[in-house]
Chains A and B, each alone.
Chain A
Amino acid sequence: MDFRWSEEQELLLESLEELLKREAPESLMAELDAKKEFPDKPWQALADHGILGLGIPEEYGGAFTDIMTMTLVCQALGKHALPLGIIYSLGVITIRDILQFGSEEIKKEVLGGMIRGDAPVALGITEPQAGSDAAALKTTAEFDGDEVVFNGQKMYCTLSKQAKYILLMTRDQKSENPYESISMWLLPTETPGITFHLLNKVGWWTVPTYEVFIENVRVPKKNLVGEMNKGWPQLMANFEIERLALCAASVGAAEAAFEDAAAYANRRVQFGKPIGTFQAVQHIIVDMAVKIENMRNYIYKIAWMMDNDMPVRTEHAMCKLYVARASFEVIDSAMQILGGLGYMMDHRVQRLWRDIRLMRIGAGTDEIMYNIAGPQLLKKVR
């Protein structure tokens, strides 16, 4: 196996790291977090630098990129400015859905905007009664002439107010089979009848999440993305890459926490010597490093498999399960080494600690990852 990056990947990452130092320094990210503000300027800088066009075909203004490169970009974003990695990752699934299932008109309008710096299209799946059981949706779409009328409520709809569009999932309540009754729509967020209620979260303060109320909201029928009642398989098609992207950002966050902790262990003197010279601290450091190395290998393998058109249904779920936990454990250990300092709101590690906890819940909980991988694993051994 060749673990080296290509020269192009190295140059891209060097360039991206320099860009993040210039446009998204830690001081700015801390300030935005404290103010709970979306990182408009750093996000625009990523757009101006062409990062938001990676993976989008050239005909829509992007640049071809393989999944490995996208993974490395997410990891770098996660390390230097985790919220940017999260926002980027959230866009990955909606970009893919639109690329794969959207009409030409939708692709040009929506993808062009995202490349130019629009916030990613928000994903409107979860409802008060439909979380992990996404098939229990109740939001409806009823045709009225050339229009379709939506009614319902979405929960935990991240970036929905910042985005120009929500990729809205609705269900035909008359059909008995939920898997053949869900449809995907492009809903402009400025359409009359939509109201947003900001939710107060433990972390992800610069990546706002809303409860969205949809009352008699009308859009043209042409806003259907893909086929009527095929929304469920369409949605499932791209969850894997979203999870990989979020995992990569999480690995980056763990790397950042590791560096903070290791630097502190070298610097902090107690009992007359740096705490890093104590075996108890060294053991924590090594355990953190082992987990980071495992996480890196896991995400690179999944990216490589996807680039080689290999199925990753089982593997990606196990990877998401492992990375969501291990990244939190690494950051928690970093906080332990930093002691009181790491628990202070001025320190980066407390922010990473709050932000990364959601990875065990968002984009499929740990428990759902077990549900995906378990039956598949058992099928492999007869």
Chain B
Amino acid sequence: MGLNILVTVKFAPNAVDIEVKPDGSISLERAEWEISSFDLPAIEAAVRLAEATRGKVIALSVGPARINNSKLKKNVLSRGPDELVLVADDALAEADTAVTARVLALAAAKLAPFDLLLSGEGSADLYFQQVGLQLGERMGIPTLNAIRKIEVYGNHVVVERSLEDEIEVLEVPLPAALSVTTDIEQPRLPTMKEILKAGNKPVYEWSLTDLNLADLPGKVEVLHTMATPRVERKNIRLQGPTEEAVCELAGLLKKEGVL
């Protein structure tokens, strides 16, 4: 049976490009956007399952208008998915997990029927680890997180779920929504052939209206995003015999309230 797999993909600013301004506020103006690193293993898992079962993978992403970017689209498709569906609207710029899951669920419903709905365990920027679970719940299908292995057996899958002290092995009927861990697969690196092919794969751009969403419900209002305060080093050098230096160090630490 060829599995039809949907895999959710988030585009997020590259953390390396984040700038902390003198007032402690965070600027993403110069940040290049990329595929959330937690989604790369999910894409790889989806593509491998599809390859093994001669199935199909559709990548699905929602976010602000800037995700409708030619290079980002080619980047996703060069990693193996057959198609990409984008819901790109600036109304989704500050979308919280509930809004994101709602929009993804409406898009996924439009793409039904499918067998598997895979997500990364969290996102590279916010890492709430909620969207995959909320999405599965909204779709009304078995939903699990922390999945590190998936084996397909006809109309069900056997999955391994990483818990703190044990690995849970579960049989899950299809369709199912699974959030996968980063160790499920090592993401492939696209070759030139795959990169060139990506430009010819179908991309469907849907608006919120296409999903019958006239307006979005209230979202979390972000008041401030601040970097943790930077503390200047005191650059105190303790010299002299070790015993004296240790006593002096203890005294300084007490003075700072550390001890």
**Do A and B make up one complex?**
yes
Chain A: residues with CB nearer than 8 A to chain B? 7-8, 10-12, 15-16, 18-19, 22, 49-51, 54, 63, 65, 69
Q: Is there an interface contact between A49 and B70, defined as CB atoms closer than 8 Å?
A: no
Chain B residues whose C-beta falls within 8 Å of the C-beta of A7 in the assembled complex: 70-71, 74
Name B42-56 residues within 8 Å CB distance of A: none
A50 touches B74 (CB 8 A): no
Cα distance A112–B241 when bound, in Å? 70
Q: Give CA–CA (A239, B190) in the complex, Å.
A: 31
Interface size on B, as a range, is 10 to 19
Interface residues of B (CB under 8 A from A): 70-71, 74-75, 78, 189-193, 195-196, 199
Chain B nearest CB from A8 CB (Å) reads 5
Write the chain B residue with the least CB distance to A18: B189
In the complex, which residues of chain A have a beta carbon less than 8 angstroms from the beta carbon of B193?
A: 50, 63
Shortest distance between the CB of A355 and any CB in chain B (Å): 26
CB atoms of A11 and B71 under 8 A apart: yes
Whether A50 contacts B192 in the complex (CB less than 8 A), given A8-B199, A11-B78, comes out as yes
* Closest beta carbon of chain A to B34's beta carbon, Å: 9
Residue from A10, A18, A22, A65 within 8 A of B192 (CB atoms): A65
Chain B min CB distance to A119 (Å): 21
Q: Cβ of B70: which chain A residues have Cβ within 8 Å of it?
A: 7
- Could you count the A-B residue pairs with CB atoms below 8 Å apart for me: how many are there? 41
Residue of A7, A10, A16 with highest tally of chain B CB at under 10 A: A7
Of the candidates B75, B78, B190, B192, the one whose C-beta lies within 8 Å of that of A54 is B192
For the complex formed, measure the closest distance between the CB of B211 and the CB atoms of chain A, giving whole angstroms.
28
Report yes or no: B196 in contact with A49, Cβ–Cβ below 8 A. no
Interchain CA distance A49-B78 in the complex, whole Å = 13
- The CA-CA distance from A54 to B74 in the complex, in Å, is 19
B66 to chain A, nearest CB (A): 15
Q: Which residues of chain B have C-beta atoms less than 8 A from A54's C-beta? A: 192
CB distance from B117 to the nearest CB of A (A): 27
> Quick check: A15 and B189 within 8 Å, CB to CB?
yes
Residue of A nearest to B192 (CB): A63
Can you list 19 contacts pairing A with B, beta carbon distance less than 8 Å?
A: A7-B70, A7-B74, A8-B74, A8-B199, A10-B71, A11-B74, A11-B190, A12-B190, A15-B189, A15-B195, A16-B189, A18-B189, A22-B189, A49-B189, A50-B191, A50-B193, A51-B192, A63-B193, A65-B192
CB of B78 within 8 A of CB of A19, answer no
The answer to whether B195 and A11 have CB atoms under 8 Å apart is: yes
> Shortest distance in angstroms between A259's beta carbon and chain B's nearest beta carbon?
15
Give the chain B neighbours of A11 by CB distance below 8 A. 71, 74-75, 78, 190, 195
A49 touches B74 (CB 8 A): no
How far is A69 from B71 in the complex, measured between Cα atoms in Å? 17
User: A7-B70, A8-B192, A11-B75 given. 16 additional CB < 8 A pairs?
Assistant: A7-B74, A8-B74, A11-B190, A12-B192, A15-B78, A15-B189, A15-B191, A15-B195, A16-B189, A22-B189, A50-B191, A50-B193, A51-B191, A51-B192, A63-B191, A65-B192
By a CB distance below 8 angstroms, the chain A residues around B78 are: 11, 15
Which of B75, B192, B195, B199 has the most A CB atoms < 10 Å from its CB?
B192
Residues of chain B lying within 8 A (CB to CB) of residue A16: 189
Question: A12 to B194, alpha carbons, bound, how many Å?
Answer: 10
Which residue among B78, B189, B193, B195 has the maximum number of chain A CB atoms within 10 Å of its CB?
Answer: B189
Q: Which residue of A lies closest to B199 (CB)?
A: A8
A65 to B71 Cα, complex, angstroms: 18
Q: How far is the CA of A63 from the CA of B75 in the complex (A)?
A: 18
How far, in Å, is A64 (CB) from chain B's closest CB?
A: 8
User: How far apart sit A22 and B186, CA to CA, in the bound complex (Å)?
Assistant: 11
A346 to chain B minimum Cβ distance, whole angstroms, is: 28
Instruction: Give the distance in Å from the alpha carbon of A15 to the alpha carbon of B78 in the complex.
Output: 10
Nearest chain B CB to A381 CB, angstrom units: 42
A55 to chain B, nearest CB (A): 10
List the A side residues contacting B75 at CB < 8 Å.
11
* A63 close to B196 (CB less than 8 A): yes
CA distance A18 to B196 in the complex (A): 18
Complex: A63 Cα to B192 Cα, angstroms: 7
Q: With A and B bound together, what is the CA distance between A12 and B190 in angstroms?
A: 7
Which residues of chain B have C-beta atoms less than 8 A from A69's C-beta? 192
Q: In whole angstroms, how far apart are the Cα atoms of A10 and B70 in the complex? A: 12
Q: Give the residues in chain A near B199, CB-CB below 8 Å.
A: 8
Q: Which A residues are CB-close (under 8 A) to B195?
A: 8, 11-12, 15
A58 to chain B, nearest CB (A): 8
A69 to B191 alpha-carbon distance, docked (Å): 13
Q: How far is the CA of A10 from the CA of B192 in the complex (A)?
A: 11
CA distance A218 to B78 in the complex (A): 47
CB-based contact A19/B189 at 8 Å: yes
Cα A63 to Cα B74 with chains together (Å): 17
A19 contact set on B, CB distance < 8 A: 189
B190: A residues at CB distance < 8 A? 11-12, 15
CB pair B189–A8 under 8 Å, yes or no, is no
Q: Kindly provide the distance from the CB of A378 to the nearest chain B CB, expressed in whole angstroms.
A: 42
Alpha-carbon separation in the docked complex, A51 to B192 (Å): 8
CA–CA, A10 and B190, complex, Å: 12
Give the 8 A-B CB pairs with smallest separation, nearest first: A50-B191, A7-B71, A15-B189, A63-B192, A11-B195, A63-B193, A15-B190, A19-B189
